[in-house]
Structure 1
């Protein structure tokens, strides 16, 4: 890492927000994914800091930002980002979002097009795809399952191994640990009323997105992630869709150099 990052905190109407900041020039706000915090973007920002003013907050309920006991929603996250941008006196910004951060970034651009220069979305959430409801229901059950059930499963480990369920149970236990670590992400993605989540999905609104958009998707990512990115690319009017052939998930960390180059070119082309 060749540059010095600045750590900052500000009290907003919904709670204290923490962010990392580096560089000077065109302001770009980076929003992290569901199972991450602002550190996800450090490698990319380090490569862009020479001529881009990079900021990446921990979303409300993540990382070092406050976790207030409130009902979380995509719109609430959008308003927190809007309040932060306004507090920093940034008139217009580029937004870069990964996964959940992509959903929030696109929602911000739809609500505040006059404050958005452009979007870069990496494997974004926020559109419906076939089979998504089943996936959400499985994760919801794992997240809300009483801890006693998993204690019993551990006690029954010899029997589980004998009947060949060891791998499946182990995968579910690992997934549950991740879900419990990111409870706010769970609430935003699947642990709310289905009608509320549906109302915040973007597939019926992306056609009205006015700002230029670049979508980056790993070619080795899951079929669900690929389907979501293709849906975004199909629905957004001004869009450039790039597949990073060797990329899996978590492009900001696994393909930082490629991602940084795409972002730099996009910002320069749309300034």
Structure 2
């Protein structure tokens, strides 16, 4: 298990992993995940970079935000974490829900980014059908708690060929640790998030858009919504929505190649 640290801010505590030295890299996990989603990636990545992987509010060991939650409020909380660690600029990778937060961060605090990436995520808002699904899940969690939601959701995150893998159970176990309040806040936040394709269209920063070849949650065309010279499109083979488990070596290669593009010091300190 990775060592977890805590930062308090205005009464709410956020937990995070902070490992390695060098260029700061922030990894934001997806809905009902935690920093543990990245445990196959962090050891290698932290050999050359300083990796900060928080638990999003209400997820893992982080407390829910006291003022409810929006994608923007979660982006603000990540900024508070980064500022509290005295980091001027970071490269941010956001998986799924983490990608929505990354886009909100890029919209508001682009001067603190050297580049950013959406990992199995999208700049599009929820469709009307998806909004209904979110509302149904909010009601389900209010009535039945988090566990039935996780049992139904997690298998869909993986490609059919990986459904029997041990890490599917790991992802469920992580999901069960999400607070009821945090789950409802995140569902509500995702339901009302705006279209942020303009962020991709307007940014001059290097951007990496990563899609899973067999992603049943967010297909590649939803991820690859903008084409520009500063935006890389890449498909991770043999992966659904969870390449950090399904194909961590290829995900790591993509992350490292992108970081070298945004001037990661590959000869940095080794811990």
**TM-score, length basis structure 1:** 0.78
Is contact 1:28–1:52 with CA below 8 Å preserved after alignment? yes
Query: Contact (CA 8 Å) 1:29, 1:54: kept in 2 or not?
Result: yes
> Which segments of 5 or more consecutive residues in structure 1 lack a partner in the other structure?
151-170
Q: Which has the higher contact order (CA 8 A, sep 6+)?
A: 2
RMSD in angstroms over aligned alpha carbons?
2.9
* Kept in 1: contact 2:212–2:235 (CA 8 A): yes
Alignment map for 1:174-213 (pairs within 5 Å): 174-175=151-152, 181=178, 183=180, 184-189=182-187, 191=188, 197-198=192-193, 200-213=194-207
Q: 1:176 to 1:117 in 2, by over 3 A?
A: closer
Q: 1:153: which partner in 2?
A: none
2:169 match: none
Counterpart of 1:76 (choices 70, 73, 97) is: 73
* 1:19 counterpart residue number: 16
**Matched ranges for 1:77-226 at <5 A:** 77-128=74-125, 132-145=127-140, 174-175=151-152, 181=178, 183=180, 184-189=182-187, 191=188, 197-198=192-193, 200-222=194-216, 224-226=218-220
Match of 2:163 in 1: none
C-alpha separation in 2, matches of 1:218 and 1:224: 8
After TM superposition, the structure 1 = structure 2 runs for residues 55-70 of structure 1, keeping only pairs within 5 Å, are 55-70=52-67
State the distance in 2 between where 1:237 and 1:72 align: 34
Name the residue aligned to 1:8: 5
- Cα offset, 1:215, TM superposition: 1.1
TM-score, reference length from structure 2: 0.78
CA distance, structure 1, for counterparts of residue 142 and residue 35 of structure 2: 30
Q: Which of the pair has more CA radius of gyration?
A: 1
